[in-house]
Amino acid sequence: MQYLSTRGQAPALEFCDILLGGLAPDGGLYLPEAYPRVSHAELDEWRTLPYHALALRVLEKFITDIPACDLKSLVDRTYTAQTYRYCRPGRDAADITPLTTLEPGLHLLELSNGPTLAFKDMAMQLLGNLFEYVLDKRGETINILGATSGDTGSAAEYAMRGKHNVKVFMLSPHGKMSEFQRAQMYSLPDANIFNIAIRAMFDDCQDIVKAVSNDAAFKAQHRIGAVNSINWARVAAQIVYYFKGYFEATRSNDEEVSFAVPSGNFGNICAGHVARMMGLPIRRLVLATNENDVLDEFFRTGVYRPRATAETSVTSSPSMDISKASNFERFVFDLVRRDGAVVRDLWSKVDRGSSFDLRGTPWLARLPEFGFVSGRSTHADRLATIRATWEKHGVMIDTHTADGLKVGLEQREPGVPMVVLETAQPVKFAETIREALGREPMRPGEMEGIEALPQRVEVMDADAAAVKAFIAART
Ligand SMILES: *Cc1c(COP(=O)(O)O)cnc(C)c1O
């Protein structure tokens, strides 16, 4: 399987060659040259497989440059009941992504049972094992530099902790994350993990990452890499649970299912799009945003208008607070019939901070073929949805999942099961749970008292030179 750039001007590469890099050299994102199709016979065979075996079947279609036995061992080690053990009481951790039925035809697919209690573990844990494998084989090392406001950074650290040849330098805004999130990240004892709290906002952290990465000499000398949401391997790993959720919510492969996906950078739902292109019988892909509704606006109007940072609000579903959606280019590449010149033209506008408008183009007319519908949710909607789900079903959901459920209910059709992706556990967003329910969220027993563990974090000013010096002294 070869990978192409959405901007059509980069050489095709194999999976392992795009694994460690970020953008393609032409500024585009990598995608498979064609989506592998899944036959009816394969769907029948896959229906009863345990998660790790299903993951291998899906991933071996995309990863053809790792020997089958090695890939099997990587996947088997990634998707274990031990790693995904933080599930609700009464659920079987061996399911990895258990399905909870709220009422007939309405389900939650639990994707947040990994070590950081958010769905990013589903992909990041595989990425950690893939990185270690490829670096070992090539005799190379990598120093991952990132900025986080919460979920991504902790998922990356838990995926990379203790891995050979990998160090992680993670910037976070000092004092801006929840106490639980700080405890999760800063209490990691592993010698290859470095937490840097910057006396500034998240955007300043991101600017430092950009400044360091734009210094080509420093980047090369210190082998700086990233694990951001445009990484294709993350999208590939996420395809698997759409299959798993489909099988759990149906009895035969003649049925259709819709998925509701709380969305930010379009990574999660992009995996759903790929699963649908592979032939999984998905009826609707329901994209849910919070008040930062740049994607909802596109799917309703055909206008993609990335927001200025000042226009982006801080909400109670903070992992969806985006000004533009970094994976969206992948979907648009398919929408414009994979014409890299068209994507170049559209993103020349986006990269200048401007918008594009597909109204009146033949591409917008194709949108229904892809099954996308969308909606948005507000803080008041989240509170109401969390409350209703608790009162009606006795199930506590987090704020992001509430956005997905709210919009999923609006887009539900008779006779078509709606599977809402649960992207985080409520304990990560305790303040809003208290506001909605007047009680403390549940937390996995093992995570009782993590706020009291010793923490390792370097507090620094927003100064790229100081961050470079910190990294240089440790690589
Ligand atoms: C990252 C994240 C999202 C958004 O996912 P995308 O792939 O960026 O669309 C939603 N919910 C939670 C809890 C997240 O951490």
Which residue's alpha carbon is nearest to atom 8 within ligand 1?
Answer: 265
pLDDT of residue 3: 97
Mutate to test the pocket of ligand 1, among 111, 119, 295 (most ligand atoms within 8 A of CB): 119
Distance CA 65, CA 16 (A): 7
Lowest average pLDDT, out of 120-129, 183-192, 305-314, 359-368, goes to 305-314
CB 126 within 8 A of CB 63: no
pLDDT of residue 175: 86
Mutate to test the pocket of ligand 1, among 121, 423, 429 (most ligand atoms within 8 A of CB): 423
User: Is the confidence at residue 310, as pLDDT, over 90?
Assistant: no
Ligand 1 atom nearest the C-alpha of 398 is 13
| Beta carbon of 292 within 6 Å of any ligand 1 atom | no
pLDDT of residue 227: 87
Cα 381 to chain centroid distance, Å, stands at 23
| Beta carbon of 154 within 6 Å of any ligand 1 atom | no
pLDDT of residue 309: 79
Ligand 1 atom nearest the C-alpha of 266 is 9
The CA-atom distances, in angstroms, between 67 and each of 60, 125, 192 are 9, 20, 28
pLDDT of residue 242: 98
pLDDT of residue 323: 87
Distance CA 98, CA 87 (A): 8
Higher local confidence (pLDDT), 178 or 284: 284
Ligand 1 atom nearest the C-alpha of 112 is 13
Nearest CA to 228 out of 266, 197, 185 is that of 266
Mutate to test the pocket of ligand 1, among 112, 268, 315 (most ligand atoms within 8 A of CB): 268
pLDDT of residue 55: 98
Lowest average pLDDT, out of 97-106, 172-181, 356-365, goes to 172-181
User: Is the confidence at residue 198, as pLDDT, over 80?
Assistant: yes
120 given a catalytic annotation? yes
> How much is the average pLDDT of 140-166?
93
User: Is the confidence at residue 229, as pLDDT, over 90?
Assistant: no
pLDDT band at 322 (very low <50, low <70, confident <90, very high): confident
Higher local confidence (pLDDT), 299 or 23: 299
CB 7 within 8 A of CB 343: yes
- Ligand 1 centre to CA of 319 (Å) is 5
pLDDT of residue 5: 97
Q: What counts of helices (H) and strands (E) characterise the chain?
A: 19, 15
User: Is the confidence at residue 168, as pLDDT, over 80?
Assistant: yes
| Beta carbon of 266 within 6 Å of any ligand 1 atom | yes
Radius of gyration of the chain from its Cα atoms, rounded to whole angstroms: 21
Across all residues in the chain, what is the average pLDDT? 95
- Ligand 1 centre to CA of 40 (Å) is 31
Strand partners, 422: 110
Token pair 């840097």: residue: 196
- Ligand 1 centre to CA of 399 (Å) is 11
> How much is the average pLDDT of 78-105?
95
Ligand 1 atom nearest the C-alpha of 265 is 8
| Beta carbon of 74 within 6 Å of any ligand 1 atom | no
Ligand 1 atom nearest the C-alpha of 150 is 15
> How much is the average pLDDT of 28-47?
97
pLDDT of residue 120: 96
The CA-atom distances, in angstroms, between 330 and each of 16, 169, 451 are 19, 28, 39
| Beta carbon of 120 within 6 Å of any ligand 1 atom | yes
Out of 61, 72, 120, 137, which one is annotated catalytic? 120
| Beta carbon of 98 within 6 Å of any ligand 1 atom | no
Mutate to test the pocket of ligand 1, among 110, 117, 120, 290 (most ligand atoms within 8 A of CB): 120
> How much is the average pLDDT of 162-186?
92
pLDDT of residue 49: 98
Which tens digits make up the pLDDT trace of 231-264? 999 999 999 999 999 999 999 999 999 999 999 9
- Ligand 1 centre to CA of 221 (Å) is 32
pLDDT of residue 65: 97
> How much is the average pLDDT of 40-57?
97
Percent of the chain exceeding pLDDT 90 equals: 87
Ligand 1 atom nearest the C-alpha of 322 is 8
User: Is the confidence at residue 150, as pLDDT, over 80?
Assistant: no
Structure tokens at 111: 């994707």
Percent of the chain exceeding pLDDT 70 equals: 100
Which residue's alpha carbon is nearest to atom 14 within ligand 1?
Answer: 319
| Beta carbon of 264 within 6 Å of any ligand 1 atom | yes
Which tens digits make up the pLDDT trace of 442-464? 889 889 999 999 999 999 999 99
pLDDT of residue 282: 98
pLDDT band at 48 (very low <50, low <70, confident <90, very high): very high
